[in-house]
Structure 1
Amino acid sequence: MTADQQPWQWDEQTWRAHVARVRAGRLLRPASWPGGARVAVALSFDADHETIPLRHGETGPGKLAQGEYGSRVGAPRVLRLLERFGVPASFFMPAVSALLHPEEVRSYVAAGHEVGMHGWIHEGNTLLDPADERELALRAADTLEKLTGTRPVGIRTPAWEFSHHTLAITRELGLRYDSSLMADDDPYELLADGEPTGVVEIPVEWIRDDVPYLTIEHRGGLRWSTPPRQVAGVWCDEFDAALEEGGLFQLTMHPHVIGHRSRMVALRELLEHIDAHEGVWYATHAQVAEYVLEQCP
């Protein structure tokens, strides 16, 4: 293959190699969840805050204030609701965000939640050369370890982007799981060029994310967000299906998005719906990864 070839000109070996680079391996859905639970619920929050504008070099106070809201108001509001329902969660935090808000990071740990990796400054890792992507990942892991006292065991890449080198860096860091890809509803093992890696994928999906529903972007014309109770309905349906299948219900949210007053209704109604069912195991992403590796050796 030459650099100027179009994809339709690739030979079979070329397109198969691209597809096989990072692939879904064996399904890691156990016969049952801890305590005989019928469904696992893994809630997560990406505490991006100011790093969303900063990653694009936007330093205006307006955009930064939107991010600051996530730490100042959204995160405490989320923590109070999780405490009310007794639910553990995973918080994925860019290292720059953690350095800006060290007390927030410590509040997650103090409440028994997991803190996972989410890049250095929410950088576009697919735009970086391998050395820079690796250096930022190592720096981010070291930073979170210093702030929390515990080395992170999982990663969610910024914007769920995956370069050709991300999996190798993940393995070098000794991380137990990734939560950035979308090849299944339930956990699975990642393959690298067809070989098992031992890394658990806890898959995400835009359906189970608050940003597509609730983000209002005024540039290029105002776009109204979905009413929060409609969002709750979608997520409740996703949970019901996971319960029926005996699988995993995973959800991604952002304190600066879900943390507004009217939008917390969606999370509250979801938790009320889940709590109305028996056989639910609430877990952090790390706990899910550890359990499925134990049950599906």
Structure 2
Amino acid sequence: MPSEDSSLPAESWRWPETTWRGHVDAVRAGQRLVPNRWPGDARVAVALSFDSDHETIPLRDGETSPGRLAQGEYGARVGAARILNLLAHYGVPTTFFMPAVAALLHPEEARAYTQDGHELAVHGWIHERNMLLGRADERELTARALDTLTTLTGQRPVGIRTPSWDFSESTLAIMLELGFAYDSSLMADDEPYEILAGGRPTGLVEIPVDWIRDDAPYFTMDRYGSVRPYSRPRDVGEIWRDEFDAAYRDGGVFQLTLHPHVIGHRSRLVVLRELLDHITAHHDVWFATHAQLADAARGVLHGSTTARTVPSEHTP
């Protein structure tokens, strides 16, 4: 009996193989890029990141109430400073992905990231939904964001994370056209890999993310919707410690995505501090920005370093 589910793509079950295979192969994971040993002879690479979205989430959706904007302002007013102080205490470099509008609202914060030795990377113009944009608009906003961060800090970003981790049909081509060295928006692996376009290598390094290693799904609150915090911070900390421990055993990468307006609250920052205590108790850890990690991964791609065979499963 034919399906009447209107949520399904129009007659996708009728697609010939060339159609569904074409969609799958458009953007695909290629060679895994894990060197036999990380810089400093480290066993594991740790790449922390913070998406400094601030007020851009409500602004993107045309929400201008002081209440919604204040939730984002917390990240700039309180969270970012706490995070920078914590990172300085541990001597850990990290990557901040920042929408250009957030950087224009808080230019001193954007400059503080790079002045403290961290990386500042592109995260859209106003955290726009690129899936709703045409190619010309998406390219214009991405290029404008790139130019804005360059002007504010004097350093041209080399990496990008798409807003909401979305990829349109044009996103990859725009990244390549604008000369980005890496992306951090896709989820096809635990470890860095080369992105393929239509089965062809692009040279673009992907540093994959995942909702498991993101604070927002655990702690986000929407008063008028169904989104509610459902996890105790220390329960989330346990998940992240387990993710790190598995990466350490495999000799791979532990990547984490956080948000100043989410993790920056007192009871949640405790979890990040405890996680850093746990990680730094291991002597053979390489803390890297996403750009540094991409450079190390690219060494495998270019044959200057030997690739490690990372198991897909491990025995505890």
TM-score normalised to structure 1 length: 0.97
Contact kept? 2:220, 2:227, Cα under 8 Å: no
**CA deviations over 1:6-42 (Å, ceiling 9, x no partner):** 1100000111111000000000011110011000000
2:218 — aligned with what?
213
2:162 — aligned with what?
157
SS at match of 1:25: strand
SS at match of 1:182: coil
Structure 1: distance between partners of 2:152 and 2:240? 33
Of residues 150-159 and 221-230 in structure 1, the stretch that sits farther from structure 2 once superposed is: 221-230
Structure 1: distance between partners of 2:226 and 2:217? 16
SS at match of 2:120: strand
Which residue, 281, 294, 297 being the options, matches 2:299?
294
Of residues 209-218 and 163-172 in structure 1, the stretch that sits farther from structure 2 once superposed is: 209-218
**CA deviations over 1:215-239 (Å, ceiling 9, x no partner):** 1222246834411111111000000
1:237 — aligned with what?
242
Which residue, 130, 139, 156 being the options, matches 1:134?
139
**CA deviations over 1:88-125 (Å, ceiling 9, x no partner):** 00000000000000000011011000000000000000
TM-score normalised to structure 2 length: 0.91
Which residue, 24, 33, 53 being the options, matches 1:28?
33
SS at match of 1:263: helix
Which residue, 75, 81, 85 being the options, matches 1:76?
81
Contact kept? 2:218, 2:229, Cα under 8 Å: no
SS at match of 1:262: helix
Within the alignment, does 1:186 sit opposite 2:191 as a pair?
yes
Structure 2: distance between partners of 1:82 and 1:258? 13
Which structure 2 residues correspond to residues 1-297 of structure 1 after superposition, within 5 A? Answer: 6-220=11-225, 223-297=228-302
Equivalent residue letter for 1:20: D
Would you say how many aligned residue pairs link Structure 1 and Structure 2?
294
Equivalent residue letter for 1:156: R
Change (3 A) 1:142 1:220: closer
Percentage of matched positions with identical amino acids? 66
Change (3 A) 1:72 1:191: same
Equivalent residue letter for 1:245: D
SS at match of 2:147: helix
Contact kept? 1:17, 1:193, Cα under 8 Å: yes
Q: Please provide the CA RMSD for this pair.
A: 1.1
Q: Give the deviation of 1:148 after TM superposition.
A: 1.0
Contact kept? 2:76, 2:109, Cα under 8 Å: yes
Structure 1: distance between partners of 2:10 and 2:168? 21
Equivalent residue letter for 2:298: L
Equivalent residue letter for 1:161: D
Structure 2: distance between partners of 1:95 and 1:254? 16
Equivalent residue letter for 2:63: E
Contact kept? 2:160, 2:184, Cα under 8 Å: yes
Structure 1: distance between partners of 2:226 and 2:298? 47
Q: Specify every segment of 5 or more residues in structure 1 that has no aligned partner in the other structure, as ranges.
A: none
